[in-house]
Chains A and B, each alone.
Chain A
Amino acid sequence: MTAPFRIGLEKRLDPPPYVRWLVPILSILVALGFGAVVIGLAGADPIEAYLQILAGAFGSPAAWLDGEFYAVSETIVRTIPLILTGLAVAVAFRMRFWNIGAEGQLVVGGVFVAWVALFLPELLPGIPQTPWVYLPLMAVAAILGGALWALVPAVLKAALEVDEIITTIMLNFVAILTYQYLFTGPWKDPEGQGFPGSAPFPEFAWLPRIGGRVTLGLFLALAAAVVVWLVFDHTKLGYEIALTGENPEAARYAGVRRAGIILAVMLLSGGLAGLAGFTETAGISHRLQQGLAIGNGFTGIIVAWVAKLRPGWIVLVAFLLSALFVGGDQLQISMGLPASIGAFFQGMILLFVLGGDVFSRYRLRIARRAHVISAEG
């Protein structure tokens, strides 16, 4: 027996404007609803849990009145690298270059930063040892490191058509293992009493804080978003990136040099990921140690994708996802739920937003069975 109805999807030719924001919001709500079920199964009260997440991520009105913004500031701290890696991924994905290597590029950026902070003062004592000189130097080093790391798959792709998904993934491992070797081996702090990590950076190599643990890195990330938006919408490079992504053959016909675009895109993408290495080392850890490769490069993929590769949205999505992370951590402490709950929500949201995307491109049609000819007809 078949149902008297049949549900089908029809392609929406031009999605009405409201669909663009309604669908993602609904998708996130559905994801949260699904999450509620899972929390319930784990034996906790879902409403209580969500309130805890909110409080964990943003604090409470009472705390705000006391001038206590710790929770929000922690959320912003996590947002900064996610904005940068999200942007990095978006730049590459826009030309359909599948850079899965932001994690590695971030790590190499951090390693370059550490080298400048740890060894340059001794090597070239002539350089004024002030933040005004050192911070820009470190930022440039981070961009260089990330860009160089991204250049490898870019060159392989441009010259030999080597698949970038494989190369970027593999280079993540190389980068992470090298960085671990450095801070547990040659760069290990002799005074660290066995604690794995490099010596701390000198204080002039610390990113100044602007509130809580939030550093100037916030402005750096926001500026990067503006730059990427400008590049996408208002430069020849952005135009060529979009054209190459949409139709490589048309791009060639329009005179776009493919190899040049691949290199430019990956330098930009790697540079942005590298910058995240800068904000994390110079801003948070102040040394090279465990905790740099915690998946920001991969979460950046989720951020970029959910934000449909648009810089403004990336900032927003990065903030919301990190709120889930920070709030999710809170759950572990207050309700004894597993810490992985944050990652679980991320996965759910990505899944539902991608799934929901179908509904912004297609419309649900319900047709009466009698009129539909199916296999038996």
Chain B
Amino acid sequence: MSRTGSHGRRGLAVALRGITKSFPGVLANDHVDLEVRWGEIHALLGENGAGKSTLMSILSGLYQPDEGEILVGDDEGGLRPVTITSPRAAIHLGIGMVHQHFKLVPTQTVAENVILGVEDMPFVLDLDAVARDVAEIADRLRMPVDPTAPIWQLSVGEQQRVEILKALYRGAEILVLDEPTAVLTPQEADEVAAILRSLAAEGKAIVFISHKLDEVVEIADRVTVLRKGRNVATMDVADTDKHRLAELMVGREVATTIPKPPAEPGPTVLALEGVVVRNERGLVALDHVDLEVAAGEILGIAGVAGNGQRELTEVATGLRRPDAGRVVVDGKDLTGASPVAFLDRGVAHVPADRLGRGLAGNLPLADNLAMRAYRHPPIAVGPAIRRDRMRAFAETIIERFRVDAPGPDTPARNLSGGNQQKAILGREITAGSWAAARGHRPVLVAAYPTRGLDVGAIEHVRARLLEQRAAGTAVLLVSEELDELLMMSDRIAVLHGGRIMGVVTPEETTIEELGLMMAGEAHR
């Protein structure tokens, strides 16, 4: 596939040569070479912790390389070496980055976030004009966003769009996206793919990091695979396929399906009865939702982001009080009870927003892993905490869930995205087994548990979830990936506009039917 010509740019947009970067105890990038051409979509693949984000952060001026050279191209095929000292210097060079963890100010509006940090803004801001510009770019790219909405009201998916808008508004010609579709619905991901294609057709150079091989094969022109900080291959997508890519990443063959024994559902453990929730904007987010999850069962929740998933997981874990209806856990009415009451009853929760809710990034990993356990012996002794036991506890989770981290004392924010996810998952599953040991039937509310994980880790996490199911945990699995839902769930409930459109079993439904129900066009 060649897209050169139409946009009139020739040659390379960027070249990274021999980039090396180490963190204390970790060699994140080891003499990496990477060339990106104008007008191409270049995918960057690799396991969690392979060094993808680090490499792109170097390109966007966030980190400085220990060794190596960065060159940027002009339109005629020339290259010149540059030193990119800051994200601001990067944007002067036309390099814009959308980060894995959003960098938005929650209390400010979309438009305000878009102009935040933009230099040469006029002294007197015309926010209405900015809002119009933002709306216009959004429109052109078919990304509906309300420029006047404050960020905290937006779903994770909507925030992602704001990040893309932000980079474009600043005039990025080389656009780097760190797992842009990890948090998007398949539809939204398709939209982003279309956006990236049209940007590439304009001659922009696009680098995107992804763990989704289907997507890479579908939208990228070329792909580079990193393993343990090294570039193991760069090739045309046309010359390769998913399985080969997976093997290159992991260094071994990866199972894409895992054996799932038949369900042995026990009694109902988690029940929502006629739950009504109004969200922060006063709109009905959940509209008389009835759901039951049995012990030893995985109930999948399908739906386009922003259709009530967040509210559903919050109600089911006590983080939000329903406006009407009841939440019953193992026969006990917990409506309006505190989050602690839910925790004590064995309701664990893998939240959608890792760094916003699941972790305190500046605290050591050990403290983060103890979030559920610090209240109970052996870590707690009366009002005191045994730090040695907390560390030991953290170490067992790190080992059992294969969290790749220098140790329990590293701040959680220093872990790669996928490893943060593994840490949270390990903590929550462990919390469930503790609750089981205290005689409760555990519930696991897992929102997008495999988001941002590499193929090997996904396999691992799914196996763990099935293990929980086999051990009698009631699992509520919220996901945007229909493949995952079909593979993992015993039943699937579809959410649309805060309502349950129907509950189906994977055997008797199809992706098409689920799609229609998610769009609100079919009932079951």
A residues apposed to B, CB below 8 Å = 6, 8-11, 13-14, 233-239, 242-243, 246-247, 249-255, 257, 365, 367-368, 371-375, 377
Contact = CB atoms under 8 A, between A and B. Distances in A.
Contacts of B340: 255, 257
Contact of B92 (A9, A239, A250, A375): A375
B509 to A, nearest CB: 33
A312 B375 CA distance: 26
A251 B92 CA distance: 39
Contact of A249 (B82, B356, B385): B356
Nearest to B64: A10
Given A250-B371, A367-B83, A255 B89 contact: no
Does more than half of chain B's interface fall in helix, strand or loop, or is it mixed?
loop
Interface string B437-460: 000000000000000000000000
Given A14-B24, A14-B414, A249-B357, A233 B343 contact: no
Interface stretch (B253-261, B297-305, B358-366): B358-366
B82 A372 contact: yes
A372 B86 CA distance: 10
Contacts of A8: 85-86, 89
B367 A242 contact: yes
A243 B93 contact: no
B280 to A, nearest CB: 14
Interface in B271-304: none
Contacts of B380: 236
B319 interface: yes
B343, B360, B387: residue with the most chain A Cβ atoms closer than 10 Å: B360
Interface in B65-103: 81-83, 85-86, 89, 92-93
Contact of B361 (A11, A246, A255, A372): A246
B218 interface: no
Top 6 closest pairs, chain A to chain B, by CB: A255-B340, A8-B85, A246-B360, A247-B360, A254-B371, A371-B83
16 contacts: A10-B85, A13-B24, A14-B24, A234-B385, A235-B383, A236-B374, A236-B380, A237-B383, A239-B374, A246-B360, A249-B357, A253-B349, A254-B371, A368-B83, A371-B83, A373-B93
Interface string B337-380: 01110010000010100001111111100010011101100001
A257 B414 CA distance: 28
B339 A243 contact: no
Contacts of B371: 243, 250, 253-254
B364 to A, nearest CB: 10
Contacts of B360: 242-243, 246-247, 250-251
Given A235-B383, A375-B119, A242 B363 contact: yes
Given A236-B383, A236-B384, A251-B360, 7 more contacts: A233-B387, A246-B363, A250-B356, A254-B371, A255-B340, A257-B338, A365-B85
Interface in B467-517: none
Nearest to B374: A239
A245 to B, nearest CB: 9
Contacts of A250: 356-360, 371
Contacts of B414: 13-14
Contacts of B383: 235-237
Given A13-B63, A235-B385, A237-B383, A373 B349 contact: no
Given A246-B361, A365-B64, A252 B85 contact: no
Nearest to A253: B357
Nearest to B343: A255
A373 B80 CA distance: 11
Given A10-B63, A10-B64, A367 B385 contact: no
B385 A236 contact: yes
A253 B367 contact: no
A247 B385 contact: no
Nearest to A371: B83
A247 B106 CA distance: 13
Contacts of B386: 234
A238 B387 CA distance: 12
Nearest to B340: A255
Contacts of B358: 250, 253
A84 to B, nearest CB: 22
Contacts of A257: 338, 340
B384 A253 contact: no
Nearest to A250: B360
A236 B85 contact: no
B89 A254 contact: no
B339 A255 contact: yes
A41 to B, nearest CB: 37
Given A252-B319, A254-B372, A373-B93, A367 B85 contact: yes
B375 A255 contact: yes
Interface string B11-43: 000000000000110000000000000000000
Contact of B339 (A239, A242, A252, A368): A252
A373 B359 contact: no
Contacts of B248: none
B62 interface: yes
A235 B390 CA distance: 12
Contacts of A243: 360, 363, 367, 371
A6 B86 CA distance: 12
A239 B82 contact: no
Contacts of B93: 373, 377
A278 B83 CA distance: 59
B148 to A, nearest CB: 24
Nearest to B94: A373
Nearest to B106: A249
A236 B375 contact: yes
Contact of B385 (A13, A239, A373, A377): A239
B383 to A, nearest CB: 5
B359 A247 contact: yes
B337 to A, nearest CB: 11
A65 B358 CA distance: 61
Contacts of B83: 367-368, 371-372
A253 B386 CA distance: 22
Contacts of B362: 246
Nearest to B62: A11
B85 A372 contact: yes
A238 to B, nearest CB: 8
Nearest to B21: A13
A247 B411 CA distance: 13
A246 B82 CA distance: 37
Nearest to A375: B92
A214 to B, nearest CB: 32
A373 B116 CA distance: 21
A247 B359 CA distance: 8
A193 B351 CA distance: 70
A371 B367 contact: no
B16 to A, nearest CB: 15
B92 A374 contact: yes
Contact of A253 (B81, B351, B363, B411): B351
B82 A371 contact: yes
B460 to A, nearest CB: 24
